[in-house]
Amino acid sequence: MPEARREPVERPAPRGEVATTVGVVVSFLAGLWLIMAPFALDYRTAADAPPHWNSVYVGFAVAVCSLVHAMAPRETPWLGPVLLAVGGWLVVVVFAGHHPAGTRAAVNDVVTGAVVVAVALGSIVRTAFLARRS
């Protein structure tokens, strides 16, 4: 008698995993944008280099942290606070005079930094919630 083949049953992802996926994608895209923004928005400064490279370095850090978290979300709960600090840094640096107020660079860094901070806070809250449930 032939053996019956079982087709794999697709189950919907638990809500928490979908939220994590969305957060990881958003933070990864924010990181990529930060890397490209100085070139796309044509950052120009008197000092020539610092604001330009700060955005690129922060973008690289955000993108790498997002990829690592996407590959091992349960093993990397500490990346939430790291992303919070990196996003906060991006916002604070603007108010510390890194970019002239109101420039494209300043507005971009504040908005993108706020997005990274929001995603990081969501990750921290979700991690704490899941830790309590276990």
Q: What pLDDT does residue 119 have? A: 92
Integer Cα distance of 95 and 16 in angstroms:
34
51 has pLDDT over 80: no
Burial status of residue 75 (CB atoms within 10 A of its CB: 0-12, 13-18, 19 or more): exposed
Q: What mean pLDDT comes out for the span 64-76?
A: 85
pTM over 0.85: no
DSSP one-letter string for 61-124: HHHHHHHHHHH-TTT-TTHHHHHHHHHHHHHHHHHTTSS-TTSHHHHHHHHHHHHHHHHHHHHH
Quote the mean pLDDT of the chain. 81
